[in-house]
Amino acid sequence: MNDGDAKLERLLPYYGRIVTFFTAFGFSREDARDLTQDVFLRVCRSVDEYRGDAAWAYLQQAARRVAINAIRDRHALKRNAVIESDDALAGLPDDRTTSPDRAVEEREASEWLHRAVDRLDDNQRPPMRLYLAELSYEEIASSLGLTVSAVKSRLNQARKRLQEMLREDEP
Amino acid sequence: MINESEWPKAYRDGLEDAQRRVGPPPTDEQLERLQRGELPQDEADRIRERLSYYPELARAIAMPFPEENTALAPEELEADIAALRKKLHEQPEAPAVFPAPRERSHALSIAAAILVSIAIAGIAIWIVRRGEPRGSVTRVLYADGHRGAGAQMPIQLSTATDYLLQPVFRPERPYAQYRLDLLQAGTASPRVIRSYQDVQRQANGTYPIPLTTARLTPGLYELVLYGVEGGAANRLAVYTMRVSAP
């Protein structure tokens, strides 16, 4: 058994958990399986050595890195996507379920909220954006390098401020 | 106008527009330095601000791993693992050394075989005596800061060995050309001792180059990957290596 095989045997018990991890980011099951194969091949072919718990920690780190790159690629694709012309869209069936008035209201509400968040204090904006994107307190804290209590405190202030702005801006 | 329970949906609806407005997400290096607390306060705040527009990235950094597999059925898991084992053993095919055999007489074949054997034995003895490498060793390299826990040590290479180095890197955008410079590091003034121009990026994200360590003195070296465009070279990744006696 060579080095790569030995590493693979140690890591195989975690295979399904890594696939599950990728599916949490909206990747299709097939994409999640491909990404998982990529992670395992990288780790098994790497020169680094690790045993026991370190193997799982190493695998998690590799999976996060692959996830970040794949998400980054997905955003780059979106940014570079060709916008369909109105003519091309004209022939497609209209599958909207909301009325035009409601759609306008929703768009206005969304624009207002984004503008309002932009007006928050510097230290409140990043946690508030992630909170609105429905990350947990722990995820917000970990990704921004803050403590959970700092996140809660900043969110509390930001929420109050947004409520104030809402009252001020209401006709 | 809008109550708090509607905020998440309203926020999601306008998120793509906001992302287009602020530009691309932070780079891997910026994220890693942020996590390690290596950034000055003002830069850390700037990266946090940018990251907050990309909640999926923030989640990829922070989301706890699932406790169990809920994505794959047992037979799918088995199939994936079999495919993985197969891929792990796949190596690039060696190029053909000899031309296809032609019909010839039996005696001539024996004579030719003896001559070839003598020649191969002679070459083998010559190589062993010179201490020269006997084959090319493929090494996949991950950039400094991208090699995971416990991987701060340089990549280890042996002296007198032919390597096919495969540095891995995924640039944020494609460049017209790529270049790899090999520098002798660990000295007061690191110097470029070899430059590989117009390196081709492969579909698997690697930039393969041959390197023989026969003439390299043991010590620290850096392989630096550049993206080249319009006469400017952007430094993309560094792979620190140590050449040591076997």
Q: Mind listing the pLDDT tens digit for each residue in B147-206? A: 554 444 678 888 778 888 888 888 878 888 888 989 888 776 677 888 888 888 877 788
A133 interface with B at CB cutoff 8 Å: yes
A-chain residues within 8 Å CB-CB of B74? Answer: none
Q: Among the ranges B197-201, B229-233, B235-239, which has the highest mean pLDDT value?
A: B235-239
A116 to chain B, minimum CA–CA distance in Å?
11
Counting one residue from A and one from B, how many pairs have CB atoms under 8 Å apart?
217
> Minimal Cα distance from A46: which residue of B?
B140
A121 to chain B, minimum CA–CA distance in Å?
11
B-chain residues within 8 Å CB-CB of A158? Answer: none
Cβ contacts of A114-119, under 8 Å, gap ≥ 24: A114/B11, A114/B14, A114/B17, A114/B18, A116/A162, A116/A165, A116/A166, A116/A169, A117/A162, A117/B11, A119/A165
Task: Name the nearest CA neighbour of A47 among B33, B166, B210.
Answer: B166
C-alpha A55/C-alpha A42 separation (Å) is 13
Burial class (CB within 10 angstroms; exposed 0-12, middle 13-18, buried 19+) of B12: middle
Would you say residue B99 has pLDDT above 50? no
pLDDT at B79: 94
Instruction: Specify the range with the lowest mean pLDDT, choosing from A61-75, B25-39, B59-73.
Output: B25-39
Cβ contact A122–B49 (<8 Å)? yes
Say how many C-beta atoms besides its own lie within 10 A of residue B193's C-beta: 12
Q: 């109550």: which residue's tokens?
A: B3
A100 to chain B, minimum CA–CA distance in Å?
16
B12 to chain A, minimum CA–CA distance in Å?
7
C-alpha A127/C-alpha A132 separation (Å) is 9
Cβ contact B13–A76 (<8 Å)? no
C-alpha A1/C-alpha B89 separation (Å) is 11
C-alpha A170/C-alpha A168 separation (Å) is 6
Cβ contact B71–A114 (<8 Å)? no
Q: Among the ranges B2-6, B30-34, B48-52, B215-219, which has the highest mean pLDDT value?
A: B48-52
Cβ contact A143–B61 (<8 Å)? yes
pTM of the model: 0.58
Say how many C-beta atoms besides its own lie within 10 A of residue B25's C-beta: 23
Residue type, B202: Q
C-alpha B70/C-alpha B78 separation (Å) is 15
